[in-house]
Amino acid sequence: MNPSSKIYSLQANQPVLLNDSETLWIVQSGTLAVFATRVKNSLPKEHRRYLFHVNAGEALLPELIAQSQWSFVAIAIEPTQLCQMSMVDLVKGIAAADSQAIEFLEGWVNHLGQSLSAQQTVLTTPLNLVQTLGRDFSLSPGETLQWRQQTLLWMKLQQSNTHWMGVEELTLNSTSPAFPLTRDMWLEAEDAVIGEMLPTADLENFEELLAGLASLHTCFFRYFSLLTNKETEAEFRQFQEREQFNQQVIEGALSDLATVLQPQQEAIFSQEGPPLLVAFGAVGRSLGIEIRPPAEDLNSIKDPVAAIAQA
């Protein structure tokens, strides 16, 4: 491989947008956090989603999709030094079985896979898991394939359709390039599937390697776009539920207040007037009986008790 001898220095919080499809960055020292971000006119938007960290000795691969609405952005966590290398040289190194070139590529793909499993929200859950240890594999409709080994493998389908991460919109079939799979990724068969798994060094067409990596990036960003939509919908539902709960609390409080105030309003006549009427009013309230004042003046009535009872 032929990395550039020119060193680029970054200060903490300084970003690097990984949107040059012909160039990758090799971390010489320091640490960077990698995010997925929406872009407009080749500039990142404010909202971004954290994916993973990279350290010295690892590589930052670029976005390979032309005119994509998403890209990767790396932000230095501390003073960091980088150097550049062309993607052509990376592929040549892999073709020559250069272990460092293979490590750069596989390290990046493994980071992407780990970022999927680290998300709190998921779109689907794998069911009917089938594990394969050999090169060839087959799946029945509805079965899911998950590679449990640490080694990254490239899947080449010979027949039928599969859905990456079980998402119907993310379809891979026999026309798709060899597709990288890590232990954190899985496939769901739409119908009977036949395919093979290849290590990176066994790929015959290394142009297909870049096509497969671009396909992974496409699926990856589409997955996170759907994930963002799902989270937004969930947040809106939670907002509606909170508003409904708050409204119920307010209505309940007003109802309780009305219940307390109503007897007081009805008891106004019993709280005012001669002492005898006030006393009867207090007894009536304790028994749940409404006491009304008589029409006549109590001071002019011979039997005020009878008059109150009749009222």
Could you read off the pLDDT of 49-100 as tens digits, one per residue? 999 999 999 999 999 876 678 899 999 999 999 999 999 999 999 988 899 9
Q: Which residue has the tokens 């272990």?
A: 99
CB–CB of 146/125 below 8 Å? no
The residues, any chain, with a CB within 8 Å of residue 146's CB and separated by 6 or more, are 126, 129, 130, 131, 183, 185, 186, 187
Q: Where are the domains of the chain?
A: 1-118, 121-239, 267-310
Q: Homologous superfamily of 1-118 in CATH?
A: Jelly Rolls (2.60.120.10)
Q: Is the pLDDT score of 287 beyond 70?
A: no
Q: What is the dihedral of CA 257, 261, 263, 269, to 10 degrees?
A: 180
CB-side neighbour CA atoms (13 Å) of 189 = 22
3-class DSSP assignment, residue 218: helix
Please state at what angle helix 87-95 crosses helix 206-266, rounded to 10 degrees.
120
CATH code of 121-239, in short, is 2.60.120
Read off the pLDDT of residues 162-213 as tens digits, 9 standing for 90 and up.
999 999 999 999 999 999 999 999 999 999 999 999 999 888 777 889 999 9
| pLDDT score, position 5 | 75
| pLDDT score, position 267 | 46
CB–CB of 1/57 below 8 Å? no
Domains 1-118 and 121-239 share a fold: yes
